[in-house]
Amino acid sequence: MLRKQFWLSFVVMMVLVAVIGCNGENYDDGSGYVPHDLTKPEVSDVTPDDKSTNVKVNLDGVGLKVVFSEEIDLNKIISTVPLFDSADNPVAGTFTYANRILTFVPKNNLTSGAIYKVNIPKSAVVDLAGNEMAADFTSTFTVIQAEDTIPPEITKVTPSNGSTNISASLGGG
């Protein structure tokens, strides 16, 4: 009878370890499988900030950055374009991902004065345990008007150069 109780206790203990995990902490055995992670990933930060109004056409040369609360499965999000112009057209660009940060660099400069929308559907973000993001993420920003870099030039002079018999009154009267 004692032997039966031992085995029953042993099986119960092994089931608890498998369900709860070692010390109640998540672990990754290198396979990417985290056995009891039930926490849904979320966006913890975005650059440019939501509702920013002074974003440069080249995104300061660093691109759009989305920080996630935990590591995500890159294969899922890489097929989703996260940036759209004001007409909801996707913006072409390239992705990189490292240390929970997804960076999207547009292929071309953004349009001056335009409003852009960052849209990441919840189905595009899955953590290493297979948990999907709880809700879609949306953020907007406005690109600043381009600076006027063309110097002024004189296109017409009145009276023309070399004119004679010019009235002292420029008012015409």
Asked, for residue 107, whether it belongs to a domain, the answer is yes
What is the per-residue pLDDT for 18? 52
Residue 19 to residues 8, 14, 25, 130: CA-CA distances in angstroms?
Answer: 17, 9, 11, 16
| CATH code, domain carrying 118 | 2.60.40.3710
Which residues does the chain have with pLDDT short of 50? 15-17, 19, 21-25, 173
pLDDT of residue 115: 95
Residue 19 belongs to some domain of the structure: no
Q: 71 lies in a domain?
A: yes
In this predicted structure, what is the pLDDT of residue 162? 78
Q: How many domains does the chain have?
A: 1
pLDDT digits (tens, 9 = 90+) for 3-48: 555 555 555 555 444 545 444 445 555 666 555 788 999 999 999 9
| pLDDT value at residue 125 | 93
Q: How many CB atoms lie within 10 A of CB 164?
A: 5
Tell me the pairing of strands 101-106 and 93-98: antiparallel
CA atoms of 46 and 102, how far apart (whole Å): 10
Has residue 59 been placed in a domain?
yes
Residue 118's domain comprises 39-143
Q: Is residue 132 part of a domain?
A: yes
CB 100 within 8 A of CB 68: yes
